[in-house]
Each structure stands twice: as C-alpha cells, then as structure tokens.
Structure 1
Amino acid sequence: MSKSRHRFAFAMIATLFFMWGFVHNLDPILIPHLKRSFSLSVLQSSLVDSAVFIAYFVMALPAGFLIRRIGYKHTIVAGLLMFATGALLFIPAANTQQYIFFLGALFIIACGLATLETAANPYAVLLGAPERAARRLNLAQAFNGMAATLAPIIGARLILVHGASDAELQAMPAAARQVALAAEASSVKTPYLVLGLTILVIAAIFRKLELPTPAAQEPDGGAARPTIASAWRRGPIRRAVIAQFFYVGAQVCVFSFFILYASRAAGISHVAAADYLGWGCGAAFMAGRFAGTWFMRFIEPARLLLLYALATSTLSLVAMLGHGMPTVFAVIGIAFFMSIMFPTIFSLGIQDAGADTEMGSSLLVMSIVGGALLPPLFGALSDWSGNIQIGYAVPLLCFLVIGWFARGALRHAALPVPSTIHPQGSTAQHVCAE
C-alpha cells in the first residue's frame, strides 16, 4: 500500500481521537455545572464519570466482536452514530430537569466512544511498522491532548458563565432559585446539539471513505479461535489491563475534579480554574504527548513510562500536601507526565499479540472502567475529610501501580522472544488494501 494512503488513513483516525477527547474533556465542565444546578455533593457529582466509564466496561467486548464481524471501518461508523445519539439526547434531558437523564445521555455517548476506542487504538497500532507502534499511538493521542486544551476553555464559556452568582442565588426565594437553577441546567442544549450534528457529518464521511483494513488475524491451521481467555493468558495484556484500570482512574480524577480542586486549594473562580484546566492541564497534556513521541526515538517506551510514573507520584504528594497556586501547577505537571501513559500501556500490552490483538484491545478498553470506580473513591475521601486535596491519595496509588507495570514491561522486553509468539508471521503487524 502507498505511504500516502497510510498517512490519509492515519489522519482520519486522528480526527476521532480529537472528537472523543473533546467530549471527554467537557465532563470536567459538566461536573461543577450539574453539581450547582442539582445541589449535589462531590460524591454525587462524580457519577458523571461513573456513567461514562461504566459504558466502556459494557461495550468493549461487543465492540471487539463487532470489529471481527464487520471490520474496523463499519465499527467506527457504528460508534459515531451512538456518540451522536447520546449528544442529541442532552436536549430532552435538559427539558426533563432530571439528573438521572443527563447520566443516561452520557452513558449512550460513552457507549459510542468505547466502540470508537476499541477500533481506533489497535488500528493506529497496526497501521505501520511494529517497532514504531508506541510512537504512532502517542502521536494519534496527541490530538486527544489538543482537545483537552480546547474543550474546557470553550465549554466554560458556553456552560459555566450562565446564571446568577452564588450570593444572588442565596438571596432568592426558594421557588425563584429553583427556576434559575433549572435555566442554568438547560445551557447545555446548544453545545451538545452542535456536537451531535457534527458527529453525524463525520459518520457520513467515514461511511463513504475507503480505508485500509488490517489483515485478518485468524490462527494458523487447526489452532483454536482467539478468545478473551487466550488474550488474558498473555502476561503483557494481563498486566496492561491492570495498569490501564488505574491509569484511567487517575486521569479522570485529575481532570474531572480540577475545577473544584483549584477553586478550593487556590481560591480561584470556576471560570479561571477552567482556563487553567485548558491552557494549563490541557496544553501540558498535549505537549507531553508530542514530547513523549519525540523522546521515544531515544528512550524505550517502557523506561520512559517508568520515569513518568515516578514524576507523577511525586507531584501527587505536592497536590495533597501543598497550598495555594503551587498545588495548581503541580497538577498541571501531572497532566504533562501522565500524557503518554494510556497509549504506551496500550501499545506495550498488545505488542506481538498476533491473533489475540482484537480481544486484547477489548480487554484494555474494558479496563477503562477504572474511570467509573476510582473517582467516587476520590469524591468519598474528599467528602469524608472535608478537604478535596486528600482525594489525591487515589491518583498517587494509581501512578505507583503504573510504575510497577513499567518495570515489568522492561523485564519482559529483556527476555528472548519465543518463536511461537507470532502465530501469523508478519500479517498481524501490517495493513493491506481493502
């Protein structure tokens, strides 16, 4: 296949990384917005993340089977359609003024995102030489980082700036206050309508495209068909699933609670905190992805991952124990150093997986459920202690687990590769024309 076709396919996949990154990074805007609109606790507001990331656990296996049945391209289209449907459901959710309906719409969006990620991550890994897989996936994920910069800045100005101040709300009669908060909850209609229509257009474009598809990954001869069990038996996949569970939990805690964290730890407004989230955490996250892609030319991915895990662990301690703006800058530093973690763990997990690649990818996407289970623990610690900074004990634990995975990956890379690890020869590592 021509290099130009490879590049075009990669560019189209990069647009998907941007779009799901954009909608994920609207969640930190939704959390303080819905917390205020529905008078929620930190723990209750964390259900935004739970609704999103439980969908990953639910949809990852069906998406893997869908790839096997209809291929990567049509699975991507199906994911985009679910994504658009959930975004458009924000309109009736806002009309009902019920928190549970917002959670339902987010769940449907996330089902689409889970389908997209199950298809797009391994597609980016397989779209070229295997020795550059980690660099290639980090580059694609850099567009996810670009979305992490833009989404909070745009979302804050479309969603957070509406309505009366807290003091004005407290001065209102109860009935008037309820009406004002209901009007604020409705401010999400226009952003999510535009998002849903945009995704429908992208789905139509993908439907018409002729993308290269990875070579079939069937086992040789009479070997058994790859299963979830056979993928789980591979040590690199199993360890990567554990590490990814904790990584996604850490990332969601850092980003989703940033506005609440910065406003309390440093005493800044929600809109100012959203700017720090976008221009600070988002830009650091994007820069970290591009920098990590470049560093991997000289440092093996597993070693770089270990160094970054140590850095994020140290900065998590600063976020827990520090005071004022230095804590905000520590969290921005965490965003830079954790930027390479998801794609690097993913690529190290399915590297040389051969016929188990699709099922291994499904397991890794299922592990994203960490984003549903660990943020409520962050919220519960914050509510129990009365100090949101104490919640950073959760990311600290997560980054220590990632350091464990990176050390194991380094040891695995030093072992001789058995000849049976590639049941298909090179067919699992390149892309053929449709």
Structure 2
Amino acid sequence: MDTPAQSTISANNASTITNGYRFALISLTTLFFMWGFITCLNDILIPYLKGTFNLSFTQAMLIQFCFFSAYFIVSLPAGMVVSRIGYQKGIVLGLGIACVGCLLFFPAASSQIYGVFLLALFVLASGITILQVSANPYVSALGNPKTAPSRLTMTQAFNALGTTVAPFFGSYLIYGASAEHTGVTASDVQVPYLILAISLLLLALVFLYLKLPALAHTSTSTGIFKGGAWQRTHLVLGAVGIFTYVGAEVAIGSMLVNYISSPTVSGVPEAQAAKLLAYYWGGAMIGRFVGALVMQKVSGGTVLFFNACVAITLILLSILSSGEVALWSILGVGLFNSVMFPTIFSLALQQLGKDTPQGSGILCLAIVGGAIVPLLQGMLADSIGVTLSFLLPAMCYLYIAYYGLWGSRVSQSTSTEE
C-alpha cells in the first residue's frame, strides 16, 4: 500500500542532490517493491493458514486485521521516533524490525500456534510502517525538485510491481508442486519468509552505510487529533474514503483465492488461483499509468466517480454470474482501483493550507480500513457465503462514488478562509 509523506529539503542540501544519489534512489525503489510484495503475500497466506488450522473466514481475516492495525497503532510513535533519530536511521530501524517479523515465522511454524503467526505479522507490519514514515521523503529529495512527481510515480509503480509478482513467488514456495493443503504444514511458510528476512537484512546494511542527503522536516505542534483539519468537511469525508477504499481493496484481495477456487467460479486448485491474483494487482499497476494520462483532461472527482461505479458493476456482475464471467469481472476491479488512493488523498487535501500536514496524518491513519473491512467481510462469508460477502466492498465503492462527485467539494467557508 502507498502512503504519501510531506517533507522539505534545506537550501544547503538542494544543490548537493545530483546524479550521485542514483544508487540511493534505486535502493529506495527496492523498499517500495518490498513492502508491496510483503503486503500482497498476505493474500496467499490467508487461504493457506485457513486450510492448515481449519479456520473460519473471520479467524483467517485476523491476518489482515493484525497487519493493517499496525498502520493505526505504530504511525504516530514511528513519526516521533523518526523525528528524533532521522530518516536514514529510521529506514534502518524499519528494515530491522521487519526482518525480525519475518524471522518470527520460524517459532510460529514450530509451535503451530496461529496467534504466533499473527504476532509475527504485526511486528512485520510495524517495521513497514516505520519504513513508510522514513523512506517517502527521500524520493522527493533525490534529484531535481521539478522531477519529483515522476520519481514518486516510478517508485509507486514498483510498489505495484511487488504486488503483481508476489502471487507467483508465494504460490510456488508455499504451495509447491502439490497445489493443495494435502501433505503440507504451516512450516512451509518458513522458506519464503526466510528469503524475505535475508533480503531485508541486506537492505538494512546497505542503508546503514549509504550516503543520503540530510532532510529538514516540519511537524505540527497540535498533533493529529487537535487542530483545524477536522473542521474541513471534505477532509473528514476523504478520510472515510481512504478507510473504505483500502478496506475494499484489501478485502477483495484477501478473499480472491477462496472465491476463485470455488466450484461456481473456476474450481481450480488454490495454488493456481493464487497466481491469478497477479491480474488483480497487475491491473492496478497498469491503471495508474492510464489514469495519470486521463486525469490530465478529466477532473479527479469525475474519474473517481466513474471508477467506483465500474467497480460496483463488476462486483455485482461477478456475484450474479459464474465461470469465466465471474472470474474476470472480479479480477477487473483491480484495474479501476488503480487511481483511487492517490485521487482521494489529493482531493481531501485541497485548500488545507497550514493544516495540510495534519490532514495527511489523518488520511494515513484511515488506512486502518485494511484491518476492519476484511474482518467484516470474513464474518459475512461465514454467515451468508463467500460470494454474497462481496456486497460489502461494493458498498464501500458506493461511498467512494459519492465522495468523487459530491463529498470532495470544498465548502465555500473553507475557500474563504484560505
């Protein structure tokens, strides 16, 4: 998942940011790839652990609950820690904690206790949260400020690339040749997370010795929960939009393997269904580039409304059909998810002025929707079935359509204050 951050570069450092930092930018890009990769790996972990531990859908969705609740719990402490130790040390700290989270999969697999898996995921997500707080400002810093948007687009594309290739990696290493739960145990997750732990450790060593520009950062003394941003209706409604969008995107991805492998959709083994996740997340990657071109001519609110309406249509089509139509319509939702997060984010921050940092913090906390909505869909799946549970993300997109067309409008009082 992508979370923007605000930062400024001191005038002294601006002149020193040249092509000499190209390797640093490449290293930072790998961070975006890694946390996109790790986040998507949860979608494969959910059906795997569900089968291994005979979990209900509600219990299985605790994976996403523990993972995305870290964004809400750790974001504020992470900001305070990074403000004390600096961005570069923050990156090293985040990589170190994420590495520990991956290594915790070993005692989790040995003990065969589901709760230890959940703890490992929370620690892993805590490290990623610290990474996002620390790493995002450097993307703007490493190069000419005029080309900062293109660098941000590139790094976010690599985040989406991570979510696209993760299904193939996870499906092969976790399910193996068997393509089923038969004959495999929870210990099979040790290998992929060991590989991730080694990769994160190597990245931590790189950033420990990498020469990076020093950044000056600003912070609000009022904090997240006090201040003028809460009086801006379009910002508050935008936070609900971020909550519902992240929740819907994660909930669909989390349920896809079970849904696709069901007899009414494709009936393929779960390992094969896991690979089809790449179309869902790959569509989001492609849609970002298409959406960027479209929004040069069409307003963000209109694009948001259109994409949300198409997403609702595709979900309803999938629910009411079966076979190939049900399969490709639900996978097609990923394409229209593509521009929703950055569009909602930018619309919500319109004309906030001095309240922009606080508004950004509020929107980042709303990512906790990725913890709540999948859990609610899991409860629905247990009570009314997997297929009908997709009505919940459809309702989330209904709100996003409202926000794009009406909720994102800046009130006249707000405009006058600026």
Q: Map 1:257-272 to 2 at 5 A.
A: 257-264=255-262, 265-272=265-272
Q: Does 1:194 align with 2:178?
A: no
Separation in 1, partners of 2:238, 2:147: 18
Cα deviation, residue 23, structure 1: 0.5
Q: Map 1:147-166 to 2 at 5 A.
A: 147-161=162-176
- Structure 2: runs of 5+ lacking an equivalent: 1-13
Cα deviation, residue 404, structure 1: 2.4
Q: Map 1:12-91 to 2 at 5 A.
A: 12-91=27-106
Contact 2:350 2:410 in 1 (8 A): no
Q: Map 1:7-406 to 2 at 5 A.
A: 11-121=26-136, 124=139, 137-161=152-176, 180=183, 183-212=184-213, 215-217=216-218, 225=222, 227-230=224-227, 231-264=229-262, 265-278=265-278, 280-350=279-349, 353=352, 356-385=355-384, 387-406=385-404
CA deviation profile, 1:378-404 (whole Å, cap 9, x unmatched):
12222212x311011111111112222
Separation in 1, partners of 2:143, 2:351: 14
Cα deviation, residue 13, structure 1: 3.5
Alignment: residue pair count: 400
Cα deviation, residue 97, structure 1: 0.8
Normalising by structure 1, we get a TM-score of: 0.82
CA deviation profile, 1:189-243 (whole Å, cap 9, x unmatched):
1110110111111122223334345543267xxxx65543224344444232211
Cα deviation, residue 323, structure 1: 1.2
Separation in 2, partners of 1:134, 1:237: 22
Normalising by structure 2, we get a TM-score of: 0.85
Contact 1:141 1:343 in 2 (8 A): no
Query: Over aligned residue pairs, what C-alpha RMSD do you find?
Result: 3.1
Relative distance call for 1:274 and 1:130 in structure 2 (3 A) is same
Cα deviation, residue 258, structure 1: 0.7
Relative distance call for 1:135 and 1:415 in structure 2 (3 A) is farther
Q: Secondary structure at the match of 1:411?
A: coil
Q: Which residue of 1 aligns with 2:410?
A: 412
Separation in 2, partners of 1:8, 1:238: 39
- Structure 1: runs of 5+ lacking an equivalent: 170-179, 422-434
Contact 2:24 2:210 in 1 (8 A): no
Name the amino acid aligned to 2:366. Answer: S
Q: Secondary structure at the match of 2:409?
A: helix
Cα deviation, residue 306, structure 1: 2.3
Contact 1:305 1:406 in 2 (8 A): yes
CA deviation profile, 1:285-321 (whole Å, cap 9, x unmatched):
2111222233333333333222211211211211222
Name the amino acid aligned to 1:297. Answer: Q
Relative distance call for 1:389 and 1:134 in structure 2 (3 A) is farther
Relative distance call for 1:10 and 1:297 in structure 2 (3 A) is farther
